[in-house]
Amino acid sequence: MVKKMRITKNIEMLEISGGIGTIYPTLVWDDNNLVLIDAGLPGQVELFKKAIEDAGFDAKNLSAIILTHQDIDHIGCVVDLLPLAPNAKVMAYKEEVPYIDGSKTPIKLAAMEANYENLPDDRKAWCDQFKTGFAHCKVKVDKELEDGEVLPICGGIQVIHTPGHTPGHICLYLQEGKVIVSGDAANIENGRLIGSRPQVTWNANLAEESFEKIKNHEHNSVITYHGGLYKEKN
């Protein structure tokens, strides 16, 4: 199932259901650029194509796909989107690049593999699926992003390094709309903005510091990948 929500004149929060539940990627644009932030699970390409069409665009016109981090539910569709969008450049934080392009084993998969013999059968099956999924979705990154860098497109997209959930996790601050796209560094629980969920967090202390950085950064609203839109109360 696909839904959408217009946040500002050039920011659309997509709502895609299936697989692990509902996710909320972000589409942002200007006269010359169409940017997708995060790209779902393997096998969801048709849902993304439809979501982009429902927002009034064509996936073939994507100019960039920005990945907040290495997890499979964020990078999974990139390899299938690129044949539809031949001009799209894949961007990610420099520390995440080796995990995305396959040079290194993604940290959560590596942790499961290291403990494989001690896993119950259902977790072993999950690990095997995880490994197969990552083997399919590894992709070349065209541009390595730096902390504090501002991409001069779509009203300004600022890179904020927010490690913790993964080492090179980033949030994107959409300057014109004052919207933070938080990836998995923030979530929503009982109407409150919270940080990275402990059970899927690489470093809890760094994650808490990053969450404070998010809260203290100028913004009107936050798009969380697994919770949707959090709007600050005035």
DSSP 117-141: GGS-HHHHHHHHHHHHHHHHH----
More confident residue, 131 or 209: 209
Q: Which segments of 101-233 does DSSP mark as H helices, in order?
A: 107-114, 121-137, 204-216
The average pLDDT across 145-150 equals 98
CATH superfamily placement of domain 2-231: Ribonuclease Z/Hydroxyacylglutathione hydrolase-like (3.60.15.10)
Instruction: Report the interhelical angle of 121-137 vs 107-114 (nearest 10°).
Output: 140
- Mean of the per-residue pLDDT values for the chain? 94
The average pLDDT across 76-103 equals 97
Q: What is the pLDDT of residue 3?
A: 63
**Closest residue by Cα to residue 39 from 63, 16, 58:** 16
The average pLDDT across 192-220 equals 96
Domain ranges within the chain, ordered by starting residue: 2-231
pLDDT tier at 2, thresholds 50, 70, 90:
low
Q: What is the pLDDT of residue 123?
A: 84
Q: What is the pLDDT of residue 34?
A: 98
